[in-house]
Amino acid sequence: MDDIENDIYPTPLDSAGQDDVFVGRIRKDIAIDNSISLWLSCDNLRKGASLNAIQILEELIKRDRMGLNEL
C-alpha cells in the first residue's frame, strides 16, 4: 500500500483483525547510505502476543520441555 499521489499507506485500521503485516511508504533513507525507511502496520495482538505464544509453545515441544513426547 504505497500511493504517494493519493496519500495512501497502511494504517492500523487496515491491519486490525489481520495476520498480515502491511508495508508502505518505502523510501530511500537519506540519513544513512544504502538504507531504506518504511512504514509498517499490524495487529499487535494477533501478530505479536498470540503468534509469539504459539511459537514459544512449538519451541518447548521441540525441545521436549513439557514432557509431551512421553505421552
Question: Per residue in 15-68, pLDDT tens?
Answer: 898 878 899 888 899 998 989 999 889 888 776 777 777 878 888 888 876 665
Position 55 in a domain: yes
pLDDT at residue 31, as a whole number: 92
Q: pTM of the full predicted structure? A: 0.57
Domain span holding position 39? 12-66
Is the pLDDT reported for residue 71 higher than 70? no
Cβ distance 43 to 10 under 8 Å? no
Position 6 in a domain: no
DSSP string, 5-67: TTTB---HHHHTT-SS-EEEEEEE-SSSTT-EEEEEE--IIIIIIIHHHHHHHHHHHHTT-SS
User: In this predicted model, which residue has the larger pLDDT, 36 or 1?
Assistant: 36
Position 3 in a domain: no
